[in-house]
Amino acid sequence: MKKAFAFILAIVSVSCQGTPKPITDEMVASVKPAASDQPAVTPDTDKAKTETAIFAGGCFWCTEAFFTELKGVESVTSGYIGGTVANPTYREVCTGSTGHAEAIKITFDPTQIAYEDLLQVFFETHDPTTLNRQGNDTGTQYRSEIFYLNDAQKKAAENFIKLLTDQKIYSDKVVTKISKATTFYEAEDYHQDYYALNKSQPYCQMVIAPKLAKLKKNYKSKLKE
């Protein structure tokens, strides 16, 4: 697979992108809705409720590994979204002809982690300024895109990108798209939990592991115990 054999070029490409400014918790707090705007939580009816977020940020092997570590995240599923072909296969998506993006569907507990916190990690763990590319992975299937499931998520994504722009987090323009979620197709079984099951694979060691180590260092308070 291209990802497995081009990991050295991917590292070189990522290293040339420069280091963006950190997205601090204080910045994230500034775009979270006020407590008075949030729905009340009642123990009897809402304690088991979860929400869903769908992000595309390049290789789903990477993004799945990052979000699985977060406190409040109950599951992460790799898959395809945003295309025109029903039930696409990995080989079809890799051609770029189906219009799908490699993406992850996150099921999370909003009482433990906010959607804005997920956005923070999303933007910190990929480059949202490169169009249809992450490192050496090129093509529309590797685009940066947020797929919202309701108006609140759409507004949160818009506010977050405005924050990144206003704070000049990146030297280049953020090209992340914000789109209404369409059908999410689960990827083949061998793509699920890929990093956890293939840590010795070169791509995992050289590309995913360093980014995961940085995530664990910078976001200790957001990680599962």
Active site residues: 59
From the centroid of its chain, how far is CA 15? 20
Measured CA distances, 212 to 72, 103, 131, 155 (Å)? 18, 18, 23, 28
Tell me phi and psi for residue 67, to 5 degrees: -75, -25
DSSP secondary structure string for all residues of 70-122: BTTEEEEEEEEES-SSSS--HHHHHTT-S--EEEEEEEE-TTTS-HHHHHHHH
| Distance separating alpha carbons of residues 35 and 170, to the nearest angstrom | 30
Look up residue 137 and give its amino acid.
D
| Distance separating alpha carbons of residues 121 and 100, to the nearest angstrom | 22
